[in-house]
Structure 1
Amino acid sequence: MLATVTLVTVRFVSRLVWLLICTPLLAQTVSPDTTLSADEQASRFLAQATFGPTTEAIAELRDLGYNYSAWIDREVAKPATFAVPVVTGALAAGQITSIGNAQNRRARNQVMISGNDQLRQRVAYALSQIFVISDNVSTISNAAEGSSSYYDMLLRGCFGSFRDLLMDVTRHPMMGRYLSHYRNRKANATTGTRPDENYARECMQLFSIGLYVLNPDGTYVTAAGGRPVEAYTNEQITEFARVFTGFTDEDNNPNSVGTGTGRVDFPRVSPANYTQPMEMWELQHDTGAKTLLSYPGVRKATLPAGQTGLQDVGDAIDNLVEHSNTGPFIGRLLIQRLVTSNPSDAYVGRVAAAFANNGRGQRGDMVAVIKAILLDAEARNLSFLTDPEHGKLREPFLRVTHLLRACRYKLSGTVLPYDFGSSISENTLGQFPLSSPSVFNFYLPDYQPAGPIGDAGLFAPEFQILNSVFGITTPNNLYNLIHTTAGGFSLDLAPQAAIADNAGSLVDNLDLLLTHGTLSTASREKILTAVNGITPAMVPSGSTLQLTRARMAAYLIVISPDFAVLK
């Protein structure tokens, strides 16, 4: 179960004695501490709602009287911290000569890790794993600041309406290129071509209603024999594909001239526009009548002939957003990204209800959805700490950002300094923001690993990338970050070293920041034994006894099952 994850890897350090100290933590089963102070509960909340708790963030919640709803309201009111100005500013200042993948990644790292608008950053990151594009394909990686523009679009939309968000996703030139509805032509009887169906399919399957008809609590509606009822047909994919025809780059030229025979094909745009919403070239939009999804209360099950392209697209987006599936489908995905891999049906139902009506008659209010997720009893009640089905394996990228923020990271570079280099990437973690291997994200929401979790019928998405390679490289990355550097990053463990003479105080401090007071008695005892067992003879050259103790404690906690699983 998620409460009994075992650790099977350890950083192979150069000194045998360090390996011997780490050995007692291997393959241990833990039971989280459930007696959490108000500060520790605040740290746990911040682990779900940000890229990692900090001493300052915990103090801010303390000053608010630990009023999490008020904290969310304050976060929503903050201005967004965008990535595009970071990377284009460096280019304008002559600090870089071009914008490529490395520069975009550094800019996004900067706003994710250091942005003052942490809830917005964290939710946008969660959305980037639902509305997936990937800079691992050339159409995205070669698109100047396009990928950062896409992330900024998610930042702008994550506190608005889901309807507007899905429209912005649909019209963004990076999504257009990734799922190929950019310059998607209407059917041509002469050539026998038909509209590309890629975006239409994924917009339904992944971005809105899912594969099967859902009850309000996210459970499947079943037919005779218990088989789930499919939410749409191949014919409906074809109809939606006709909707998503005619998109091309916005060139800000009201006098654009078409190309090809009869000047009906898309105009040439130079340079390509990777940041502004795609425009509609009506001469390549299918203007025929179209059949969409039909369901009780549907506004338009069919689209009349002769509408403009954007009218068709807007009506199609409404058709999907107003479908009863969308609330429970999107709600469950966001719960999994923020709180727990196996939310109860009732939890999904409560979030879906907030999606359906924010209390003021508005559907798809993202702030209402976020509050419903983070303030729910299944997110906040400490009784769920001991529920073996509750919690989630931390994403490896979030394990890194949590450690950075908790331990006051330092940067060595001056130009776009938020650089992990090659030491922390999708090749060493199994994931990296906006670098998924496919539109299906790094892992599937219904992934069930072999063994106790799968045997119990539970889901554990992040386990899909916990393999024999990343099970070693991820702890190695954390070791390097704690003891030396990871790219341009290093840690300032001076506050921990200052109290390291008292091993109990040291572990308490790191438990608050890293494991939110949940560090098990078994793990705590072994870590204390290891820290107290460090002698001056074991201190590496250039270090101190206190710093060595602080590094040991931090490392043993971040490779522990207590840290690996967020409860």
Structure 2
Amino acid sequence: MAVQASQLEAAPRLSVGAAAVATISDADASRFLAQASMGASRAQIQQVQQLGYAGWLDAQFALPASMSRWDWLVAKGMNAITYRNTEAGFDSCAWRKLLSSSDTLRQRITLALSEITVVAIDGLVNSGWRAFSAAAYLDLLEANAFGNYRTLLGQISTSAPMGQFLTFRGNVKYNTSTGAQPDENYARELMQLFTIGLQQLNLDGTPKLVNGATQDTYGQDDVTGLARVFTGWDFDMAGHDASTPDFLRRPMIQIPSRHETGASSFLGTTLPAGLNGAASMKAALDWIFAQPNVAPFISRQLIQKLVTSNPSPAYVARIATVFNNDGSGVKGNLKAVIRALLLDTEARIAPAAANTTAPSFGKLREPILRFTAWARAYGASSAADTWIIGDTSDPSTRLAQSPLRSPSVFNFYRPGYVPPNSAIAAASLEAPEFQITNESSVVGYVNYMQRAVSKGISDVKADYSSLLPLADNPQALLNEINTVLAAGQVGSSNLALMVGAINAMPTGTDARRNNRIYAALTLVLAAPEFIVQK
């Protein structure tokens, strides 16, 4: 059912004035940062309290980007020909940004976009320099994180990494001799995953029904017609060779002889014959972007990534409305969408209020964000600037997730995933991140974090100097960790059990105090109230 105007009016946006700034608690600021950043810290909590929610967003929007992943790889000499056929350096450059860049909001949105418009490093084949190709793609997403979604679609559609991953790089027109058709991968996923989805939606993200039945957004004829548009694109190798990775940073170019110049029909429109490759791509993307499904389809996924897996239809409608029109008549303004999404009443309602204790509100914190929450909270750094964390995909020994290492174009988990035979399924709710949660990953995560907390990962180590003075007082120690990592949401009964466990540990020396800190951090990082972000 479409959302009614009265429903929109019933949920006004939060007013963030001077009075609101003065009353932001430590826990509320930490909760906001769980949604808006790669992880809270005492310094960031204080900044939110000083600036207010909207002021903090403005400050983050204004921050310049730090050194790109690509430039870091070059600075480390990874563009030497000896690395051409390896992935060496990629994990380091990806983790470095997630863990240490001051533009923490931009990194959070980059991560979200990388899980919507997916490229995965293991699928970047037939050119070498996979680390640079993956780095270039993340840099592209970061550069557009606060820009316009239509601009992002255009840049993705000519990016060498996407051309590699979804196999339309080198795509050629219909061959009249052999009957070979253009590759359809990108045309299909552009519609299914990056723009309109599978079912027609109302503005509030609910399915449009005709006689009680859902309606498809596209069919195979639309895929075939759109695939004709994405022909003739290939690497820009003019005056260059593959002995350096530089061609992977440049947009792909058109090879006119390979492009289909006949008419192309899809989604109720026909592009006329005679258009060149660039013109036909622009016309196709403009038409797709104009479809009413784009706003609710993308808005709902962004809400799921940042705030809650099951947003109310009214929440989706409010954000989709901003996606369609930022107030200045512009569609796709991601900065406006992010601001509206994070300041919306449904996101900012106080933790003690009904919706944050309701089973339907919140989300499972994905493993990457659990790891970065610990690292950001306690200033994890790499003394040698090497950030050798590596691929953390193994569910039994690591995190079951690692940046840009999705097993397919469908991301690590589907936005509509429902754990089978579960209370979540019985309640008709979605829990996307549970798709990578099982007995092995639960144990693997705790073991990995226990090692990370106490020993670090290679030379990536945290600084617990702020916790050391609290270590002789388990209640104070756990209260502080609970506030920063879990927004104060670990319950009193669980905290009491943790306090008892820490009290039983010896103290009296800094080494023993550090052991208490390691145990307290591991207990909170394993607590359901931390793992489930409310």
Correspondence for 1:165 among 136, 141, 152: 152
In structure 2, stretches of 5+ residues that fail to align are: 1-22
Give the structure 2 partner of residue 462 of structure 1. Answer: 433
Task: Specify the alignment match of 1:556 in structure 2.
Answer: 523
Contact 2:83-2:129 within 8 A present in 1 as well: no
Write the letter of the residue equivalent to 2:310: N
- Trace 1:338-357 onto structure 2 (pairs within 5 A): 338-357=306-325
Q: Following the alignment from structure 1 to structure 2, what is the Cα–Cα distance between the partners of residues 180 and 336?
A: 29
For each residue in 1:497-520, what CA deviation from the matched residue of structure 2 results, as whole angstroms up to 9, or x when unmatched?
A: 211122222112111210112221
In structure 1, what is the Cα distance between the partners aligned to 2:311 and 2:483?
25
Change (3 A) 1:544 1:37: farther
**Could you tell me which of 167, 180, 189 is aligned with 1:202?**
189
Q: Work out which of the residue numbers 471, 481, 490 in structure 1 matches 2:442.
A: 471
The whole-number CA distance in structure 2 between the counterparts of 1:229 and 1:367 is 31
1:480 matched to 2:451? The reply is: yes
User: Which residue among 403, 414, 418 is the counterpart of 2:387?
Assistant: 418
Residue of structure 1 equivalent to 2:403: 433
Q: What is the rounded CA distance, in whole Å, between the counterparts of 1:497 and 1:390 in structure 2?
A: 35
Counterparts of 1:125-524 in structure 2 under 5 Å?
125-137=111-123, 139=125, 142-224=129-211, 226-252=212-238, 273-294=247-268, 301-382=269-350, 383=353, 384-411=355-382, 414=384, 416-421=385-390, 424-427=392-395, 428-450=398-420, 451-524=422-495
Contact 2:119–2:162 (Cα < 8 Å) also in 1:
yes
* Higher RCO (CA-CA < 8 Å; seq separation 6+): 1
Question: How many matched pairs?
Answer: 503
Q: In 2 relative to 1, CA 365–184 (structure 1 residues): closer, same or farther, beyond 3 Å?
A: same
Match of 1:495, SS?
Answer: coil
Equivalent-residue separation in structure 2 for 1:331 and 1:239 (angstroms): 27
Listed one character per residue, the Cα deviations across residues 425-462 of structure 1 (whole Å, up to 9, x for unaligned) are 34532211100000000111111113111111110011
Q: Which amino acid aligns with 1:79?
A: P
TM (norm. structure 1) is 0.85
Quickly say closer, same or farther: Cα 1:320–1:148, change in 2 above 3 A.
same
Given that 1:503 and 1:531 are in contact with CA atoms closer than 8 Å, whether structure 2 keeps it comes out as yes
Name the aligned partner's letter for residue 320 of structure 2.
A
1:75 matches 2:53: no
1:42 aligns with 2:16: no
**TM-score (norm: length of structure 2):** 0.90
For 1:72, the aligned partner's letter is L
Pair 1:315–1:138, CA change in 2 (3 A): closer
Q: Would the alpha carbon gap of residues 121 and 426 (structure 1) be closer, same or farther in structure 2, given more than 3 Å must change?
A: farther
For 2:75, give the aligned amino acid: G
Q: Secondary structure at the match of 1:469?
A: helix
Is the Cα–Cα contact under 8 Å of residues 83 and 149 in structure 1 kept in the other structure? yes
CA distance in 1, matches of 2:424, 2:41: 32
Where do 5+ consecutive residues of structure 1 fail to align? 1-35, 257-267, 295-300
The answer (yes or no) to whether the contact 1:482–1:491 under 8 Å persists in 2 is: yes
* Cα offset, 1:554, TM superposition: 1.0
Match of 1:62 in 2: 49
Distance 1:342 1:93 in 2: 44
Alpha-carbon offset, residue 101 of structure 1: 2.0
Change (3 A) 1:61 1:309: same
**Cα pair distance change 1:409/1:325, threshold 3 Å:** same
| Alignment-derived partner of residue 8 in structure 1 | none
Query: Is the CA contact 1:135–1:435 (under 8 Å) kept in the aligned structure 2?
Result: yes
Contact 1:208–1:329 under 8 Å retained in 2: yes
Larger mean CA deviation between 164-173 and 85-94 belongs to: 85-94
Q: How does 1:83-98 map to 2 (within 5 A)?
A: 83-91=69-77
Distance in 2 of aligned mates of 1:293 and 1:346:
28
- The one-character-per-residue Cα deviations of 1:313-355 (angstroms, maximum 9, x if unpaired) are 0111111111000000001111111111111111111110010
Separation (CA, whole Å) in 2 of partners of 1:99 and 1:76: 37
Judging changes above 3 Å, is the alpha-carbon distance between structure 1 residues 269 and 532 closer, same or farther for their aligned structure 2 residues?
closer
SS of the equivalent of 1:551 reads helix
Residue deviations 1:264-309, cap 9 Å, x none? xxxx977672111111111111111122323xxxxxx221111111
Q: Matched residues in 1 for 2:100 and 2:87: separation?
A: 20
CA RMSD, Structure 1 to Structure 2 (Å): 2.2
Tell me the equivalent position of 1:15.
Answer: none
Secondary structure, aligned partner of 1:389: coil
CA distance in 1 between counterparts of 2:81 and 2:197 reads 45
Structure 1 residue 546, shift from structure 2 partner: 1.9
SS at match of 1:487: coil
Residue-by-residue CA offset, 1:238-276 (whole Å, 9 max, x unaligned)? 0100011110111345xx9xxxxxxxxxxx977672111
